[in-house]
Structure 1
Amino acid sequence: MITQILIQSPSNPSIFKWLSSSGVDNSAVWSRKDHEENHSTSMRRIKTTGALRRLRQDARGSTAVEFALIGPVLLLFVFGTIELGLMMAAQHVLDDAVFMGSRTSKTGYVASTSTQTATVAAAIRKAAQPYLDPGKIVVTSKSYPDYSSINPEPFTDTNKNGVRDAGEPYTDVNGSGSYDDGKGTAGYGTGGQIVVFTATYAWPVSTPMIADLIATNGVRTLSARAVVRNEPYGTP
């Protein structure tokens, strides 16, 4: 009876051989298959390593990936800068328009077949166009007898309600003998009076994130103020 014994190769521990009791080596076929499997595994490992090396060295498409990362931030910065520049220009135009309106008003000039209100509005409209829509400019004016009357006189808010009630102590800054609330009189006043012009303009903000930071519901309210003393027109 011939038996077979599985022995380990002394030169390669990963190879086992079948040896018959007669001393014949029957592992040739098995060893060949094992060699082929090891060779196939090594080739797959080499191919995988080579593919990874080529992938690391391949720079194609890197520009597109980099732009995808920094592009949105760059565009937001560019459009945000343009948006803020346009808004600053609008603020300058509004300041100039209010100045021109107050300058026209303080002289008491009234165009023929017109009124002072229409004359001042025409001066503001001329200075604002074409950058701003004159129809969206809201202008108010109040007149005061002197500069000290523009702001309300300081008082002690005894009941902490935010307004001066009768009987609460106050400082008579202008010496008029009565409390002056600084509310003024609507209009352009008369010769020698102080007139405060206030204008507002609803400026739309379109750039995302910028609108969330500086606007309310996509609108930034621009404001301008001018204080002038009327020339002594209408006096002999």
Structure 2
Amino acid sequence: MTTFSFFHCVSRFRAEERGATTIEFGFIAPILTLMLVGTLETGVMLAAQRQLEDAIFMAARVNKTGYADSGQTQAATVQAAMQRAASGLLDSTKITVTSRSYPSYDAIGEPFTDLNNNGVRDSDEPFTDVNGNGAYDADRGKAGSGSSSEIVVFTASYPWTIYTPLLGEVLGTKGIRTLSVQTIVKNEPY
């Protein structure tokens, strides 16, 4: 008789379906929550990337005209324009901006003859020694925002903190992902 009541209890337990959805949701909820939060954080990070692009474009736009606010240098005016454009998602004090100027587009990277057509300068391939130092220079730009009619390459980077732990492991180093943008402009003749 005890065997009958044991099997009867087991079959009754197996037939009971109330609460099954709650158990299933308990298994799915953490994964679903992580995916939702990760998606939201990725969206915010992409918005911050776009804001950084806007900031560097504004800085380049102000720089290429040679304009300077009264009582300020051109560099200070460019920095202020960039900070105004970066306000919101980004802490403008953490943005790192570098600029290099070149006399022409051809001067960006020393020209060479690619004899084997591999797209990379090999040691036996001839190059144009533009600055006369006898060595191949990959980048001949000068630091700074350039002068009239020069080509300027602006690069901005920002250390974005990732708060979702798993997303931080996938996308960043120790929860930090460096957002980076670059733009090239030609200064107006001023």
Is the pair's TM-score, using the shorter chain for normalization, greater than 0.5? yes
- Could you tell me how far 1:219 is from its partner in structure 2? 0.2
2:90 corresponds to 1:132: yes
- Could you tell me how far 1:81 is from its partner in structure 2? 0.3
Identity in percent: 44
Shift in alpha-carbon separation, 1:48–1:177, aligned structure 2, 3 A: closer
2:50 corresponds to 1:92: yes
2:171 maps to a residue whose letter is I
* Deviation by residue 1:103-129 (Cα, 9 ceiling, x = unmatched): 000000000011111100000001000
- Could you tell me how far 1:169 is from its partner in structure 2? 5.1
Shift in alpha-carbon separation, 1:183–1:164, aligned structure 2, 3 A: farther
2:184 corresponds in structure 1 to 227
Distance 2:103 2:189 in 1: 13
- Could you tell me how far 1:59 is from its partner in structure 2? 1.7
Assess if the C-alpha contact under 8 Å between 2:165 and 2:175 holds in 1: no
Q: Secondary structure at the match of 1:209?
A: helix
Shift in alpha-carbon separation, 1:83–1:138, aligned structure 2, 3 A: same
- Could you tell me how far 1:170 is from its partner in structure 2? 2.8
Distance 2:160 2:102 in 1: 30
Assess if the C-alpha contact under 8 Å between 2:56 and 2:182 holds in 1: yes
- Could you tell me how far 1:164 is from its partner in structure 2? 9.3
Shift in alpha-carbon separation, 1:216–1:177, aligned structure 2, 3 A: closer
2:79 maps to a residue whose letter is A
Distance 1:154 1:81 in 2: 45
- TM-score when scaled to structure 1? 0.71
Distance 2:37 2:49 in 1: 18
2:175 corresponds to 1:218: yes
Assess if the C-alpha contact under 8 Å between 1:206 and 1:218 holds in 2: yes
Shift in alpha-carbon separation, 1:77–1:177, aligned structure 2, 3 A: closer
1:228 maps to a residue whose letter is V
Distance 1:155 1:135 in 2: 43
Distance 1:54 1:66 in 2: 20
Assess if the C-alpha contact under 8 Å between 1:149 and 1:180 holds in 2: no
Which has the greater radius of gyration?
1
1:23 corresponds in structure 2 to none
Distance 1:125 1:177 in 2: 35
Question: Alignment partner for residue 170 of structure 1, among 126, 139, 155?
Answer: 126
* Deviation by residue 1:168-226 (Cα, 9 ceiling, x = unmatched): 75322xx8584554231111111100000000000001112211111001000000101
2:155 maps to a residue whose letter is T
Shift in alpha-carbon separation, 1:153–1:208, aligned structure 2, 3 A: same
- TM-score when scaled to structure 2? 0.88
Shift in alpha-carbon separation, 1:191–1:55, aligned structure 2, 3 A: same
Distance 1:183 1:189 in 2: 13
Distance 2:167 2:63 in 1: 37
2:33 corresponds to 1:72: no
Assess if the C-alpha contact under 8 Å between 1:153 and 1:182 holds in 2: no
Assess if the C-alpha contact under 8 Å between 1:205 and 1:211 holds in 2: yes
Where structure 2 has 5 or more consecutive residues not aligned to the other structure, the ranges are: 115-120
Distance 2:61 2:43 in 1: 27
Counting matched residue pairs gives 182
Correspondence list, 1:199-214, <5 A = 199-214=156-171
Correspondence list, 1:112-191, <5 A = 112-154=70-112, 170-172=126-128, 176=130, 178=132, 181-191=138-148
Assess if the C-alpha contact under 8 Å between 2:58 and 2:81 holds in 1: yes
Distance 1:196 1:114 in 2: 22
